[in-house]
Amino acid sequence: MTKASRGRLRRALPRKLSRGWERAVFAAPQSGADDEPREQVLEGPGAGDEVDEARVAAAIEALLDAAEAAAADGLTKQTIVVDDRRRLTYDARHGHLKTKTLDAATARKVMGGKERLFRPDRSAAFLRAIGIMNADGTISTRHARKYKQISHLAELCRPTWERVAKRRELTDEAPLRVLDLACGNAYLSFVIAEALRLAEVPLRLHGVDVRDDLIARARGRAAEIGLEGLSFARATIAAAYAAAETRDALGGPPDIIVALHACDTATDEALELAIRSGAPAILCVPCCQHELAGQLAAVDASAPPPGNPAIPALLGHGLLRGAYADALTDAIRCELLTACGYQVDVVEFVGSEHTAKNLLIRAHRRRRGAVDPAAWELAAVADACARMGVSPSLLRRLEGAPRGA
């Protein structure tokens, strides 16, 4: 940064930043869309009418010093985020300050020319927290695809909570209750929570996972976004529903049970809990269906159907057997949900070119009232599984005694 550049900034910034700013971002110019960004973030004094003038003046001096040091380190692409709608940008090599406003036309351009649920001008904190929006308020080409995917995922989840809302009135005293099992990074939790915030639907969401680091990260993100009604705790799936912390966090039985990418039979554990608890709705994205692939490897591929596939190669080749096992696992899960009184549909929420784990299972309980395992129609599913030589975890769990019994 030249002496002249710093002088221009010193004259311009007090006028443009008189009411404070959120953060400054110093970044290196990128040569390609897939380059990992190198940047530094300097938090500002905040923005608003109540910002202390003396504090702002001192912060501007610190900002100028930080900008000059960053420029010397090659971080010449510099942005001051005033608020969610306004940014000041300049190249430290030239010092020409520009004001950029996120108006309707600019927002639509960021959204790829389409209206999307998570607009950059109203969901900025959420988009930053989950890593889609950069600290400088932009969405890079590298993240644009994921941005479109989460908007699509939220719309696929919308019919589920709208259906719950028809069953009972959702109020601040009796909000929508969501339990996220094996929540991991709580990605789906935050997508649902932000969508409900925009829809002004009151929410209590509780996520559980066995990893302390993931729970700490989820709590940090919830605080960063400022979403109310979210809580996270360390617990196994089996213990989650009976845990006092879960009951206290939700304030009642869950309306929706969520399981996103719970690995292999952990998905079955989550589905069993949802079925036995009589959850009105289930949103499940299965992952890593390894169990049946191992069982199918022991099946005689030359045996005639219906016990085995009409095409023996489905069992005889590892890659085909794995793909067959994935589809068979989720098909059996859908059959078992139906047998236990749920209406089920399966939709694709991400194109298969991005990930093979792209199926969302949506299930809605057809009847209200207490859960009656005697009414479950498991026999036909069990017979079909026996003829195929497989014994899926969810079937074994539903045929057995309730957990904790």
Each residue's pLDDT tens digit, 274-304: 999 999 999 999 887 789 988 998 888 777 7
d(CA 266, CA 288): 10
pTM for the whole structure: 0.84
> Which band of pLDDT confidence, cut at 50, 70 and 90, is reported for residue 365?
very high
pLDDT (0 to 100) of residue 350 = 65
> Which band of pLDDT confidence, cut at 50, 70 and 90, is reported for residue 243?
confident
pLDDT (0 to 100) of residue 405 = 39
Q: How far does Cα 133 stand from its chain's mean position?
A: 14
For residue 292, is it left (φ>0), alpha (ψ between -120 and 50) or beta?
alpha
Higher pLDDT, 346 or 13: 346
Tell me the two tokens of residue 73: 């380190």
Domain ranges of the chain: 3-101, 147-399
Per-residue pLDDT tens over the stretch 123-173: 989 999 998 988 888 887 778 888 888 888 999 999 999 999 998 899 999
**Residue 374 above 60 pLDDT?**
yes
Q: Which of 280, 270, 273 shows the shortest CA–CA distance to 404? A: 273
Per-residue pLDDT tens over the stretch 33-75: 556 668 899 998 888 777 777 888 888 889 988 988 998 899 9
**Residue 352 above 60 pLDDT?**
no
Type of residue found at 211: R
Per-residue pLDDT tens over the stretch 303-335: 777 777 778 888 889 899 989 999 999 999 999
Q: What three-state secondary structure class fits 377?
A: coil
pLDDT (0 to 100) of residue 356 = 55
pLDDT, average across residues 253-278: 91
pLDDT (0 to 100) of residue 31 = 56
Lowest mean pLDDT of 82-96, 101-115, 207-221, 225-239, name the range: 101-115
Q: Which fold has domain 147-399?
A: Rossmann fold (3.40.50)
DSSP readout, 52-95?
-HHHHHHHHHHHHHHHHHHHHTT--EEEEE-SSSEEEEEETTT-
**Residue 355 above 60 pLDDT?**
no
**Residue 353 above 60 pLDDT?**
no
Tell me the two tokens of residue 26: 């110093």
Per-residue pLDDT tens over the stretch 175-202: 999 999 999 989 889 999 999 999 999 9
Q: Does residue 306 have a cis bond before it (omega within 30 degrees)?
A: yes
